[in-house]
Amino acid sequence: MNKTTQFPLQKVLNYRQTIEDTRGITLKQAQSLLHREEQKLDDLENHKDLVLNDNQKDFQEEKLLTTTTLLQTMDYIVQLNDKIEAQHNHVKKTSQKVEKNRDEYIQASKNRKMIEKLKEKYITEYHKDFRKKELKQESEIANRIVSNQKKNDLS
């Protein structure tokens, strides 16, 4: 296909490709953020488990635990639980954002593919028309040659 027969919707296709690329980047960033937030949640839960295990180990070893120490530990565990709950909510919101971005990316991809199918049809139709014109020209040339040979044979 030469420049004079360029696909009429090429600019639209380029724009939709750009939109799809942008949505893909946004999706990757959101997935990365979700991964970091999940890692924070895991770290908080692991820290809570560590504190509980240390406290249980101290109890099993019959170390002297004062009520102040127990109250501080309990208060700290409550604070950790609050942080874990807040982080759960943050992970949930981030996950919803990832899903929204994924849906937008899928829709952008569908839009681009739709225009690409139109382009493929256009190219196929263009080649069919081009081949028809070539065959018509070849037929005309063959008819002229045959006509010229008959004239030369009659002369």
pLDDT tens for each residue of 107-143: 999 999 999 999 999 999 999 999 999 999 999 998 8
Check residue 9 and report its DSSP letter: T
Q: What is 9-122's CATH topology?
A: Helix Hairpins (1.10.287)
Going from N- to C-terminal start, the domains of the chain cover 9-122
- What pTM was estimated for this model as a whole? 0.74
Q: Rounded mean pLDDT of the chain?
A: 91
DSSP E strand stretches across the chain: none
Q: Is the dihedral of CA 85, 90, 95, 97 positive or negative?
A: positive
Residues 6+ apart with CB under 8 A from 23: 101, 104, 105, 108
